[in-house]
Structure 1
Amino acid sequence: MTGGGAGADARRPGGVEFPFIWPTRVYWEDTDAGGVVYHASYLCFLERARTEWLRSLGVGQQALREDADRVFAVRAMRLDFLRPARLDDQLAVSVELAECRRASLVLRQAIVRDGETLLTAEVRVACLAASDFRPRPLPEAVRAALMLPE
């Protein structure tokens, strides 16, 4: 469960590399009858990588909800499907912070197989109060984990 990526110069404190890479394999349940990854399965791959990216930064989403009354919700997503993934493919799903606003993040993601990019995504994630689902600022602990000024 470690990030991989561009090398030692891309490391942040704590040893996490950027962009963060989450490896995954394509299972039968991810595919259609022809063994090609069903389009909605890519969303699951992207979501899991974002969750593990946050976890690698020390941000657990359950703790964020319980301790800071915050949750993240996908507000918008732009996907570009370039090539199909297939049953048993080993994939690398990347996450990179592109922009941070007071109550939202824009993330760039990609899904790669053997050096070939299969999908690119831009994901806008809103920070919301868990209690009322209204926009709220990112907690200080999250900003610190992302190494952002207050």
Structure 2
Amino acid sequence: MSEHGALGRFDGKRHLFPVRVYFEDTDLSGLIYHANYLRYMERARSDMLRAVGIDQRGQHDAGQGVYAVSDLHIRYRAPAKLDDDLIVESRVVKVGAATATIQQRVMRQDQVLTEANVTAAWLTTAGRPQRQPKAWVAAFTALIEEDK
């Protein structure tokens, strides 16, 4: 965790990240604008990585590489509204040499509002795929839940 503390927390191998819907997050209908779900998911993924000791900024600043979303599948099920308290649940489902796939759900209590599978690729600063640091692969792999 950073010196300022992370907002999210782990429940077993699931990372939970709280979000509140503010006026700026909504469109003219008063419902959350669809692109804001992606922002919430990005914040949750970044917080999860930080919580397991992955220092994206340090690697970037050292010229070692960056993560970039390489694949995204998203499904919108129900809208969120102004002042809703939401949870973004993130689970690592697959780890490759240069990628990690994370399943994410935005929920209001037990209701799934949006769900996505996001694959992030580790790239050189020139934008070419490269192997992730071994410690990061190990951190991601430790978060994969075994089939029940």
Tell me the TM-score range normalised by the shorter chain: 0.7 to 0.9
| Structure with more relative contact order (C-alpha pairs < 8 Å, separation 6 or more) | 2
Is the aligned partner of 1:31 residue 2:26?
A: yes
Letter in 2 for 1:83: A
| Residue aligning to 2:134 | 140
Equivalence for 2:71: 76
Residue number in structure 1 paired with 2:88? 93
Cα deviation for residue 4 of structure 1 reads: 4.0
CA RMSD of aligned residues (A): 1.4
Following TM superposition, the consecutive aligned residue runs of length 4 or more in structure 1 with deviations greater than 6 angstroms are none
> SS at 1:64's partner residue?
helix
Distance in 2 separating the partners of 1:137 and 1:146: 14
1:40 corresponding residue in structure 2 = 35
Partners of 2:9 and 2:46 lie apart in 1 by: 12
Say which is worse superposed, 65-74 or 88-97, in terms of deviation.
65-74
Consecutive unaligned residues of structure 2, counting only runs of 5 or more, are 1-6, 143-148
TM-score (norm 2): 0.86
- 1:114 maps to which residue? 109
Hey, what's the Cα distance between the residues in 1 that align with 2:64 and 2:108? Answer: 37
- Residue pair 2:122, 2:129 contacting (<8 A) in 1 also: yes
Distance in 2 between residues matched to 1:74 and 1:80, nearest whole Å: 17
Partners of 1:139 and 1:123 lie apart in 2 by 19
Give the aligned length: 136
Distance, in Å, in 2 between the alignment partners of 1:141 and 1:50 is: 17
Equivalent position to 1:3, from 5, 9, 13: 9
Task: Give the Cα–Cα distance (whole angstroms) in 2 for the partners of residues 60 and 28 of structure 1.
Answer: 32
Kindly state the Cα deviation for residue 147 of structure 1 after the two structures are TM-superposed.
Answer: 4.6
Q: Distance in 1 between matches of 2:46 and 2:81?
A: 23
1:81-125 deviation per Cα after TM superposition (whole angstroms, max 9, x unaligned) = 000001110000011111011101111000000111101100111
